[in-house]
Structure 1
Amino acid sequence: MPDGGRRRRAFIGSFTTAGGPGIVTADLGPDDGALTVLGAVNGLPDPSCLALSPDGRTLYAVSETAEGAVAAFRLPGTEGGAGDGAGAGDDMPEQAGPAVPVHGNGPTHLCLFAGHVLTANYGSGSVTAVPVRADGSLARSPSGVFPHTGPQGRQRPRAHQVQPDPSGRWAVAVDLGTDSVRVYTLADGTPAPHSEMVLRAGSGPRHLAFHPDGTRAYLLHELSPTLTVCRWDAAEGTLRPLAEIPVLPGVPSGDAYPSGVAVSPDGRFVWTATRGEDVLSVFAVVDRPDGDDGDDRVAGTDRTPGLRLITTVPCGGHWPRALVESHGFLYVANERSGDVTWFAIDPDTGTPRRRGSIPVTAASCVVVG
């Protein structure tokens, strides 16, 4: 177990305006991956997305409100945190200072990058950088905000996700409104655009996940039930789309709304969650030799690793908003049924097998530390 025997924890975000409990802390069973709720903190409105610091000492949360904010929480058993995990009351994150306005509307996602927290602000279509202090707390105000522009005629910019690439040199921001992914650096604390990958108009890209080898990425679209396989060049800081494939063959746009994508640590499997149909799709990562047409559900050319759909399984609830893999288990936050379901992953096929669930009203995000 990490940190001198301290049990692993899961942290679950929720929409408080829909009755959610705030940020829930749950214990993770070391062998069966089972979740046991320890308690919740409810001081931040709509903490819909969470991120852990690399050292595991601090949890960061957006406040997905019209005003838009981000906050830092010290975790139990760390310097300045509450208690040592001996009791449920001492096992809750403790907010480290006031929430910081991000000068953006409706932040939906955040990440740690180059000594800053970056937020993707869906309502205003922008990316914000807030400096992180040495103790993990946040500066009182952002160091920079970059507004997205250039819609393709469908709607205005809608920044939905931001995350670092595997090399740590770049941050990528997925914009559902402009059907594009932008690559950023930071210049004097302000997000600075470096390159942009433009996608099919109306596809509505939502979330991207990198393969652990650092050379490819999988981009999930919300407005069409598809997944784009991309080539990532960390040296140049560029993404290139290779192929777009269905996550639910035969299901038309408008009936299914993909939400989250995850890649196994060994790079053999990719999972996606789709709302409406309320299923998880399981893909195997494969090589397709040059000139081999193969299965029409395989994406890839010139031996570029592609994907083959293995199966779909029920998500264990209604409206799966997010999913995460950890230590051979998959955790799914089901927003409308108000629960988090966990699955054991078959190591040979990547197929998730449902093992249990816990109630969390308006669940929106799960991170595991």
Structure 2
Amino acid sequence: MGDKGAGRAFIGSFTSAGGRGIIAVAVDRRTGALTETGFSDAVADPSYLALATGSGGPVLYAVSETAQGAVAAFDISGPAPKPIGATVPVCGDAPTHLALAGGHLVTANYGSGSVSVLPVGAAGVPRATSGVLQHEGAGPHPDRQRGPHAHQVLPDPSGRWVLGVDLGTDSVRICALDPRAGELTQHRETALRPGTGPRHLAFHPAGSHAYVLNELEATLTVCRWDADAGVLEPLGETPVVADGVSEPVHPSEVVVSPDGRYLWAANRGHDSIAVLTLDTTREKAELVTTVPCGGRWPRDLALDPTGRRLYAANERSGDVTWFDIDPRSGIPRRAGSLSAPAASCVIFA
């Protein structure tokens, strides 16, 4: 790991489907190639990861996407992640996402339709859950929307708000975090079109707009974001696959380029990456093309720190594929892949 030409990244995976847990990799900064350095299977189904840098060095966090969900912290100073402290229950079922906000970990618990808050100690170890915000509601889909299903939680660019994306209720909740009490209070709930099933959102680098990727319909909802008022305003929808696609499409992840010109969305089933352009108003997204994701069932997309390469975690083919991005068109070109059984996410250090 002493190679000055290498960065670091971590891959989450489903141990229940043959994954090895959290895989640590070296990243060749020149080519983007990934090389495994070690792994940890200390936590079951670490499907999503988050990274924090503290006085004691960087700490990696993982959800355990199990029926009785939990989070865990890892020391990443060596070639393989090592657990720090015990796994901590989140008081929610099947957490699918986590983020850091206001000195706390927050998790989106898909199974129970809730968002949990856990304080983070001085050594980076999460403590017992301090608050749980239970979502309420349902949607028109007979199977997937019988109740709330929080799928993503993240702070807005201003750091004033925490947003929770709920697939089951077709809505995004804007919440305020009380750092002393370790609790979330709902400020506002933004309704999206019924039956779309919002899964994940990404902010524009300018912080003025957000783009919500819908799982139950293959569309992207463009929204205006007012950080001062804590208001998310839906403006319109754009498809992320071309007309005439016959197979079921289940979009999973959305990322925006650092310059705000392009947006990419992963399409499971269609097994593609959608390439969209964003106009100068940031309020119009246009589908340019789709390209093969390099495998099957792309669950996650991630940009490297330079923004010049895109990585797809292909869950069912068991690999992470990387792409060089054409700066003039935004179109990714496949450059290589690494075997990673049941891969679910990629995060860069």
Alignment TM-score, normalising by the size of structure 2: 0.94
1:200 paired residue among 179, 183, 193: 193
2:208 — aligned with what?
215
Percentage of pairs with the same residue: 55
> In the alignment, which of 312, 315, 334 is matched to residue 314 of structure 2?
334
Q: Please point out which of 249, 253, 261 is paired with 1:256.
A: 249
Q: 1:359 aligns with which of 334, 339, 343?
A: 339
- Identify the residue that residue 82 of structure 2 maps to in structure 1: 94
Note the alpha carbon deviations across 1:250-303, whole angstroms, 9 max, x for none. 15697111001000111111000000000001111114xxxxxxxxxxxxxxx5
Secondary structure, counterpart of 1:146 in structure 2 = strand
When residues 31 and 4 of structure 1 are mapped into structure 2, their CA distance, relative to the original with a 3 A threshold, is closer
Give, in angstroms, the shift of residue 152 of structure 1.
Answer: 3.6
Q: Which residue of 2 aligns with 1:306?
A: 284
Q: Secondary structure at the match of 1:57?
A: strand
The alignment status of 1:149 with 2:136, answered yes or no, reads yes
Query: Between Structure 1 and Structure 2, how many residues are aligned?
Result: 339
Equivalent residue letter for 2:113: G
For residues 201-260 of structure 1, the C-alpha deviation after alignment (integer angstroms, 9 at most, x for no partner) is 110000000000000011000000000000000001110100011011215697111001
**Partner Cα separation in structure 2 for residue 151 and residue 223 of structure 1:** 14
Scaled by the length of structure 1, what TM-score is found? 0.89
Residue type matched to 2:7 in 1? R
Task: State how far apart, in whole Å, the 2-side matches of 1:63 and 1:224 are.
Answer: 27
Counterpart of 2:216, as a letter, is: L
1:282 equivalent among 260, 275, 286 = 275
Contact 2:89-2:129 at 8 Å conserved across structures: yes
Separation in structure 1 between the aligned mates of residue 246 and residue 196 of structure 2, nearest angstrom: 9
Cα deviation, residue 310, structure 1? 1.7
- Distance in 2 separating the partners of 1:249 and 1:172: 30
Question: 2:130, 2:6 → 1: CA distance?
Answer: 36
The answer to whether the Cα contact below 8 Å between 2:164 and 2:173 also exists between their aligned partners in 1 is: yes
* Separation in structure 2 between the aligned mates of residue 112 and residue 317 of structure 1, nearest angstrom: 30
Q: Distance in 1 between matches of 2:62 and 2:229?
A: 31
- Alpha carbons 1:224, 1:252 under 8 Å: kept: no
Query: Contact between 2:224 and 2:283, CA under 8 Å: does it hold in 1?
Result: no
Aligned match of 1:298: none
Distance 1:356 1:242, change over 3 A: same
Q: Does 1:53 align with 2:49?
A: no
Q: CA deviation at 1:94?
A: 1.4
Q: Which has the higher strand share?
A: 2
CA distance in 2 between counterparts of 1:19 and 1:249 reads: 33
- TM-superposed CA distance for 1:39, in Å, is 1.6
Matched, 1:105 2:106: no
Q: Which residue matches 1:134? A: 122
Instruction: Flag the 1:251–1:207 CA change in 2: closer, same or farther, 3 A.
Output: farther
Structure 2 equivalent of residue 300 of structure 1: none
Alignment of 1:5-24 (within 5 A): 5=4, 7-24=6-23
Secondary structure, aligned partner of 1:305: coil
1:186 to 145, 152, 177: 177
For residues 215 and 96 of structure 1, the distance between their equivalents in structure 2, rounded to whole angstroms, comes to 37
Change (3 A) 1:352 1:150: same
The structural deviation recorded for 1:29 is 0.2
Name the residue aligned to 1:82: none
The answer as to whether partners of 1:225 and 1:252 remain within 8 angstroms in 2 is no
Deviation at 1:153, TM superposition (A): 4.8
**Residue 7 of structure 1: how far off its partner (Å):** 3.5
Does residue 1:44 correspond to 2:24, yes or no? no
Structure 2 counterpart of 1:117, one-letter code = L
Letter in 2 for 1:25: A
Distance change >3 Å, CA 146–CA 253, structure 1 → 2: farther
Q: Go from structure 1 to structure 2 and tell me whether the alpha carbon gap of 1:6 and 1:132 turns closer, same or farther (over 3 Å shift).
A: farther
* Counterpart-to-counterpart distance in 2, 1:259 and 1:129: 24
Moved beyond 4 Å, runs of 4+ = 3-6, 251-254
Pairwise CA RMSD: 1.7
Q: Distance in 1 between matches of 2:301 and 2:324?
A: 13
Identify which range, 250-259 or 155-164, moves more after superposition: 250-259
- Quick check: 1:115 aligned with 2:106? no
> Are the equivalent residues in 1 in contact too, given 2:137–2:168 (CA < 8 A)?
no
In 2, the alpha carbon distance for the partners of 1:251 and 1:123 equals 33
**Distance in 1 of aligned mates of 2:265 and 2:140:** 28
Unaligned runs of 5+ in 2: none
Contact 1:322–1:366 (8 Å) recurs in 2? yes
Contact between 1:109 and 1:162, CA under 8 Å: does it hold in 2?
A: yes
Q: Distance in 1 between matches of 2:267 and 2:18?
A: 23
* Counterparts of 1:171 and 1:284, CA distance in 2: 27
Q: Within 1, Cα distance between the matches of 2:242 and 2:192?
A: 20
Take 1:243 and 1:134, find their aligned partners in 2: how far apart are those partners? 43
